[in-house]
Amino acid sequence: MQTIRGFRDILPEHISLWQRVEQEAFSLFESFGFKEIRIPVLEKTDLFARSIGETTDIVEKEMYTFPDRKGGHLTLRPEATASICRSYIQHKMYATDPLRKFYMTGPMFRRERPQKGRYRQFYQIDAEVFGIESAYIDAELIFLLNELFKRLGLTGLTAHINSLGCPECRPSFQRALLDFLGERKELLCENCTRRIQKNPLRILDCKVESCQQALQGAPATIDHLCPACADHFDIVTTTLKKQGVEFMVDKSLVRGLDYYTRTAWEIKTTTLGAQSAVAGGGRYDGLVQELGGPATPAIGFAIGFDRLVEVMAQLEIETPKPPLDLFIIALGAAALEQAYHWSCELNQRGLRTEVDFRGKSLKSLMKRANKLNAAHVLIAGENELKENQLILRNMETKDQSSLSMDNLVPELINILKS
Ligand code: AMP
């Protein structure tokens, strides 16, 4: 049996970077006032179709959707924002405190063509803020991402920032875009020819070569901002500059989801080839209301966890693992029984201890102690048991001392924790 194409196991030997990222991210989020939220993997299809947008690649081509046994359609979540909005509305969180900051991590599902850095089940670390319209929160989220990547030791990342405007400035931009594309219609792919009526903005995100060609010199949202959006963007960029956060204004950045308004950004790396975005985010001031809640400004981002770990691995960022405190070599049935109880008690009291219960020889157990990088080895053979003199070996200095079984556990804790 094999995993499905685009799905993969993350094996224990690769997990330490994942854990390191989670620890750094969650502690940073907590210090900025975010609270963890856990949401289902499966939602009604309609939630994603309505929020991400019917004419986006995700909804048109990439969702894992299937009929429920009792009718209706369900979808494996392709992203987290829509579900978090659903939860915010469903639990009327706005009524008790409209200002909420959430973070979460978990798998997302998109049926894209698999390649390095692109999977059909991938993981995201997500942060969302509801109830704040101020541009300082936009700057804060980009600053937070920058700080996280710095703490993780990442280099070679660039923040690309743009403003997509709001419903106020969209019509003027759409007119300009349609005028521009009018003379280039024959270059557009079939998909974009269809989208031009329904959702011309999506064309800006098309990866097809001829569409890219058609878009050369196309108008940019940032040149059509209303005064309020222009001021908002100005505060974001001025604040980041003051803080020394490096970024570039990227007029061509549009993001692949329909719900974004105003500030949008992506953090790109040069280490992963074509799949260069390690995080993306933006404002979505209209979404909560669109999904049936009260008008609520909101903003968030998602980090591509798989890609982040791949970048860290390429940069040879290490996560030193604490060694095993004690490996117990127990030879013979009586020693094994004792070792079982000692190790349970030692682990209970916070000393990382292991016993190999397979009944192997002293030589092979010493090899295993080395493989496990044990700091100490306790040897309990038949003779040692009979004479009540166990051997404790410091694996680094090779020093050996003998220990009585009478007060063994407290004695070991004393020695090994000092
Ligand atoms: P998006 O909201 O689509 O911009 O996704 C946010 C981040 O998730 C991206 O910047 C990627 O790092 C990551 N991501 C998106 N799709 C995939 C995928 N199929 N495989 C791995 N990572 C992905």
pLDDT in tens, 387-410: 999 999 999 999 999 999 999 999
Mutate to test the pocket of ligand 1, among 64, 122, 123, 162 (most ligand atoms within 8 A of CB): 122
Span from the CA of 66 to the centroid of ligand 1 (angstroms)? 22
Rounded to the nearest angstrom, the distance between the alpha carbon of 295 and the centre of ligand 1 is: 28
Strand, coil or helix: 355:
strand
Q: Determine whether the shortest distance from the Cβ of 57 to ligand 1 is under 6 A.
A: no
The yes-or-no verdict on residue 319 having pLDDT over 80 is yes
Q: How far is the CA of 211 from the CAs of 117, 208, 275, in angstroms?
A: 24, 5, 19
284 lines ligand 1 (CB under 6 A): no
Q: Which of 350, 296, 325 is nearest to 133 (CA)?
A: 296
For residues 267 and 157, is the Cβ–Cβ distance under 8 A? yes
- First and final CA of the chain: distance in angstroms? 48
pLDDT at res. 413:
96
What percentage of the chain exceeds 90 in pLDDT? 83
> Residue 318, SS3?
coil
Bin 124: left if φ > 0, else alpha if -120 < ψ < 50, else beta.
beta
Q: Ligand 1 mean position to 347 CA, how many Å? A: 39
Give yes or no for residue 403 CB within 6 A of ligand 1.
no
Q: What is the pLDDT of residue 110?
A: 98
What's the pLDDT tens digit per position in 216-256?
999 999 999 999 999 999 999 999 999 999 999 999 898 87
Round to whole Å and give the CA distance between 160 and 255: 11
Cα separation, 337 vs 341, whole angstroms: 7
371 C-beta neighbours (distance < 10 Å), count: 10
In whole angstroms, what is the distance from residue 196 CA to residue 160 CA?
A: 26
Q: Is the pTM of this model over 0.85?
A: yes
Specify the pLDDT at position 273.
Answer: 77
- Distance CA(273)–CA(156), nearest Å, equals 13
Residue 401 confidence (pLDDT) = 96
pLDDT digits (tens, 9 = 90+) for 264-278: 999 999 888 777 899
What integer is the mean pLDDT of 65-72?
93
**Judging by DSSP bridges, how do beta strands 326-330 and 376-380 pair with one another?**
parallel
